[in-house]
Amino acid sequence: MLSYRHAFHAGNHADVLKHFIQVQLHQYMNQKDAAYTYIDTHSGAGVYALDSFQSTKTAEFDTGIGPLWGLTDVPAPLKEYLDLIKGMNPSGKMRYYPGSPYVAEQMAREQDRLRLFELHPADCKILADNFRKLDAHKAEQGERSRGRRVMIDRGDGFDSMKALLPPPSRRALVLIDPPYEVKDDYKRVKEALDDALLRFPSGIYAVWYPVLQRMESRQFADRLKRVPAKEWLNVTLTIQTPTPDGTGLHSSGMFILNPPYTLEPILREVLPYLVRVLGKDAGARFTIEKGTQVTGTALGRSASRTDGAAGMPRQPIGNARRASPLSGKGSLRLPGQVMPREGDEPAAPVKPSRTGTGRPTQDAGRPGAPPRSSAPKTAAPRAPRAPGAPSRAASDAAAPRAPRTGGDRPATPGAPRTGRTRQGGGRG
């Protein structure tokens, strides 16, 4: 879908959060002399006229840059962002607002490269025209234009980013800012980050996202916390309580992978000020979360919010512990196996005894049967033999044997059995 046009939303509170953070990321990248590549996957038109039909129809700039325009007591980091916008409006009247490509062009140095992608045909043409006019203006002022160091392509930024990573300088700042018109955008952002981190794990990746009532938006930040980045920083800015019907953009966020160590202190200084100036009601607030990569049930993050709530340890997902054969207390067991309960002593295994017929006794292993004694049996003492009396063995040998009766085994081998067999049930 290509119906989204950012001109209707230029300069709103979400742009203030996004472009203020973008300025800080460029400031950090500029601390080293080595060149870096800036990649913008959804560039838009680059520059927006706030007096155009699209901007005046919605007037969303009144929720963002409008209230900030005439203030003089702004924190120093926020002033850097405001000075950039005022440089576009030398007359002092708020007329033009920059998109992320123009912010990058103003903040990046002469040796840095810009790679800009836009899929919408009209916005891509406006973007190219704006940079062409900018180069002409620099030439009139005697400044050196970027020339081939700025490349603008009409294409899918998600797919185009793959060919640029890793960059030749091994330094990159990537801004991912899709319109989220369709649910698939949330999925594609995560897939693009997974692929980008495999190709270039040390890059800085900044993702803007709307905070909406839809399920994809509510789960988005938690899913990004599981991408294989070393560290992450999640920031949200809310200017008012969401409406009951869920319409309108009241909150947005920036999720930064491999964030600069300087960014969090700056955010803690500036965001309370933005809440005070841009907030519409008691629902205005901000949140800051930071942490390391989360995999499985391991937790490597600590979270801090304006309400002082600390991040709680992540619990196993679903029945992960209950279904684990290594947990020791699970539902996985062999048929007939009885799992001991907590606090119970393990019962000793009972070995069933066998009778002379080869069958187990009736009470062997039967619940409720009295336990067998394990004490050794002792023979009764024999009476002393009288002097001169024959021994027991001699008397047994002298005593004649009684003949077998009909129910016993025949004396002659091979003779047929009569009566009942020893195991019973047979007939002669």
DSSP 59: -
- Report the Cα–Cα distance between both ends of the chain, in Å, rounded: 94
Pairs from 162-168 (Cβ < 8 Å, separation ≥ 24): 162/195, 162/196, 162/199, 164/37, 164/39, 164/115, 165/196, 165/199, 165/200, 165/203, 166/199, 166/200, 166/203, 167/36, 167/37, 167/113, 167/200, 168/37
Rg for the chain, CA atoms, rounded: 42
Active site amino acids: 177
Residue 67 near residue 277, CB atoms below 8 Å: yes
Q: Which two tokens stand for residue 215?
A: 């399920």
Of 224, 200, 231, 223, the residue nearest 293 (C-alpha): 231
State how far the Cα of 383 lies from the Cα of 311, in Å rounded to an integer.
86
Categorise residue 258: left if φ over 0, alpha if ψ from -120 to 50, beta otherwise: left
The contacts of residue 273 (CB under 8 Å, 6+ apart) are: 74, 75, 78
Cross-strand pairs, 37: 113, 172
C-alpha distances out from residue 103 to 45, 126, 235, 241, Å: 12, 16, 20, 30
Q: Which two tokens stand for residue 94?
A: 């708020």
State how far the Cα of 233 lies from the Cα of 248, in Å rounded to an integer.
25
Q: Which two tokens stand for residue 306?
A: 């304006």
Which run of H or E residues covers position 355? none
Cross-strand pairs, 354: 360
State how far the Cα of 355 lies from the Cα of 372, in Å rounded to an integer.
15
